[in-house]
Amino acid sequence: MRILVTGAAGFIGFHLASRLLARGDAVVGVDNLNAYYDVRLKESRLAMLRERPGFSFVKADLVDRAAMADVFSGGRFDAIVNLAAQAGVRYSLEDPHAYVDANVTGFLNVLEGARRHGTSHLVFASTSSVYGTNTQLPFEEGQRTDTPISLYAATKKANEVMAHSYAHLFGIPTTGLRFFTVYGPWGRPDMALFKFTRGMLAGEPIPVFNEGRMVRDFTYVDDIVEGVVRTIDRPSAYRLFNIGNNQRVELMAYIRAIEKALGVQAKLELLPMQPGDVAATEADTSALEAHTGFKPATPVEEGVRRFVEWYRAYYKT
């Protein structure tokens, strides 16, 4: 297939593009290479993709209507996977306009491209954050998602309802995927695993919010990619799926897994809950399993070990 992957130089986009190329698909990657985090990491991912047959890259911002029109004018895509977004819950308190620009206006330009040029399937990334104030675990797709507690989550909920309207009006087969706390090699430096690893190796205290009383459904990136690929191959009129590990892991257990992988004991800086954070997440993945036959299952200890191996090799620590 010929597949458009937006956010191709990002964490998940890089892994997905690599997987699609490995199975013989042609991938057109789009990314604006912004400076939200170290651009050198994005460029390293991109350099690896450029070495692969079947990959082509367009540096463009989803918000740029003319640039995105050019991307779509190059020919019909068999599938479109929208992973480009302004990520991060806490940063949405500092720069809310970046979230509306990238996640709402940018996504609209993707929807318009799919509408005007056609595609067999539009797949887009949503987030577990849309569950907002829900406290009934595990989260399942039929629960209410109209009480987000961060602007990031609100823009992702907006993506879901925007996509539904386009699927309904223009007959675009569309699937939204709610990712749960993705981690693994080539991860983002603003995420907990990266911060904790860097801080622990430097002998610095690591910030532990809500004094460690947090529970997350940590999902290894290869499991996310497997779920995305299987979803690409099974279009629906409009569906939403959770992709998570279907396990509640305490934050302190996650930190212990990092300690074990590094051989370093963490110094903890216990802090209060941050605005926009939720105390606990867990995915009900039964709908994904029924639709694709796949259930994520990589243990946290194994996923953390693989990340630490990559981190030490990449940063030569």
Q: Does residue 203 lie within any of the structural domains?
A: no
The stretch 69-95 carries a mean pLDDT of: 93
**Domain assignment present for 224:** yes
- The 3-state DSSP class for residue 55 equals strand
DSSP code for 268: E
CB within 8 Å of 222: residues ≥ 6 apart = 15, 184, 298
Domain that holds residue 55: 2-183+219-246+282-298
Contact 275, 210 (CB under 8 A): no
Q: How confident is the model at residue 191 (pLDDT cuts 50, 70, 90)?
A: very high
Strand-pair partners of 175: 123, 239
Q: For residue 90, name the pLDDT band (cuts at 50, 70, 90).
A: confident
Per-residue model confidence (pLDDT) at position 88: 85
Residue 266 inside a domain? The answer is no
Question: Position of tokens 């540096």?
Answer: 59
In what helix (H) or strand (E) does residue 155 lie, and over which residues does it extend?
helix 151-170
**What is the gyration radius of the CA atoms in the chain, in angstroms?**
19
Residues 146-184 have pLDDT tens digits of 999 999 999 999 999 999 999 999 999 999 999 999 999
* pTM greater than the 0.85 cutoff: yes
Q: Is the bond preceding residue 138 a cis peptide, omega within 30 degrees?
A: yes
Average pLDDT over residues 289-293: 97
As a whole-number percent, the residues of the chain with pLDDT over 70 amount to 100
Residue at 255 is within a domain: no
State the Cα–Cα distance between residues 293 and 58, nearest whole angstrom. Answer: 34
Mean pLDDT value across residues 9-36? 97
Structural domains in the chain (count): 1
What digits encode the pLDDT tens for the residues 198-256? 999 999 999 999 999 999 999 999 999 999 999 999 999 999 999 999 999 999 999 99
Confidence band for 91, pLDDT divided at 50, 70 and 90: confident
Nearest C-alpha neighbor of 287 from the set 128, 127, 141: 141
Cβ–Cβ < 8 Å for 226, 294: yes
Asked, for residue 37, whether it belongs to a domain, the answer is: yes
Three-state secondary structure call for residue 108: helix
In a domain, 126, yes or no: yes
Q: What is the mean pLDDT of the chain?
A: 96
pLDDT the model gives residue 209 = 93
Residue 89 has pLDDT above 90, yes or no: no
3-state helix, strand, coil in the chain (%, to 5): 45, 20, 35
For the chain, give the percent of residues with pLDDT over 90: 95
Catalytic residues: 152
Does the structure show a pLDDT above 90 at 93? no
The CATH number assigned to the domain holding 237 equals 3.40.50.720
Q: Tokens 């979230």, residue?
A: 99
State residue 241's pLDDT score: 98
Decide if pLDDT at 314 tops 90: yes
Residue 223 covered by a domain: yes
Cα end-to-end distance, the chain, whole Å: 40
Burial class (CB in 10 A: 0-12, 13-18, 19+), 51: exposed
Q: Is residue 304 part of a domain?
A: no
